[in-house]
Amino acid sequence: ASLFAADFQLWQKSTLNSILKNNQLRVCLEPGYVPFEMRDKHGRIIGFDVDIAKKMAKDMGVKLKLVPTAWDGIISALMTNKCDIIISGMTITQKRNLKVAFSDPYFLVGQTLLVNKKHSNVKSYKDLDKPGIVITTKLGTTGEIAARKLFKHATIKTFDSESAAVQEVLNNRADAFIYDKPYNELFMAGKGKGRLIFLKQDLTYEPLGFAINHGDPDFLNWLNNFLRQIKHDGTYEKFYNKWFRN
C-alpha cells in the first residue's frame, strides 16, 4: 500500500496534474527567434513553437497561456513557477540540463555566421578570429557561448535581441553575427539578401528541447510520447512546412 501511496504522491506533485487542475498550460517563450516565436504586425505571438504549444494544450484538453519572458531570465522563470514549460527554441546544453530537465530533441540546429560584405574573401570562421574584428550575437544564448569559444582573438558584443545584433553588421558597426542556422537562413531570404554573406557551415551541434522542472517523470513521459506521436502522424511535418518552407 505504501508503494501506491508514493506513486500517487509523485503524480499529485506533477506539473501535469496542476496543468489539468488549473485547466491551463503556461508556456514561457521569448519572441524574436524567427520562425520559432515572433510577433505578427498585430503584436500576436506566432511561430513553429507556438503551433506545437497549441497542439500540446489541445491534446491535454486545456487552455494555452503564452508567457513572454526575457531570455536571460527564462530558466529562473520556469524554476519559480511563472510557467509550466519553456518552448522557446532552447538548445539542450549540459549546463542548462543541471538546472532543468529536457524533453527529447524536437529540432536540430547549429551556429552559423552572417558576415559583412566587405569580407568577401572569408572562407571560414577562422579567418575572422583576429584582433579588431567585432562579432555580435544575442546575450545568454548558445550563440554567445560559441562566439566566446571560437573567437578568442576577436571582440564579442552581445545584444538583448537577435535583430539588434544582426543589425550591427548591416550598419557596418560589426564584422559578423553568429546565431542558430534557421534564423540566419530566414534573415538571408529577407533583409540580408545581397547585403550579407552566409557561411552555412554548422559550427556547433545543437538539439533543441522543451524544458521543465526536474523531478517530474510523469510530465516528461507525457512530453516525449507527445513528441513521438506528432513526429509520425503528420502534425510535425505540417508545422515544419508552414514555417520552414516558403
Under the criterion CB under 6 A, does residue 71 sit at the interface with ligand ARG? Answer: yes
Contact region with ligand ARG (CB under 6 A), list: 83-91, 212-220, 227-235, 237-245: 83-91
Under the criterion CB under 6 A, does residue 32 sit at the interface with ligand ARG? Answer: yes
Q: Nearest distance from residue 212's CB to ligand ARG, in Å?
A: 15
Site for ligand ARG in 165-204 (CB under 6 A): 180
Q: Nearest distance from residue 123's CB to ligand ARG, in Å?
A: 25
Q: Nearest distance from residue 192's CB to ligand ARG, in Å?
A: 18
CA 6: distance to chain centroid?
Answer: 35
Q: What is the CA radius of gyration of the chain?
A: 20
3-state secondary structure of 15: helix
Instruction: Identify the CA nearest to 135 among candidates 160, 109, 165.
Output: 165
Answer whether 173's CB lies under 8 Å from 134's CB.
yes
- DSSP codes joined into one string, 219-238: HHHHHHHHHHHHHHSSHHHH
CB nearer to ligand ARG: give 37 or 84: 37
Instruction: Identify the CA nearest to 84 among candidates 243, 220, 198.
Output: 220
Under the criterion CB under 6 A, does residue 84 sit at the interface with ligand ARG? Answer: no
Which residues of this chain interact with ligand ARG, rule CB under 6 A?
29-30, 32-33, 37, 71, 88-91, 141-142, 180
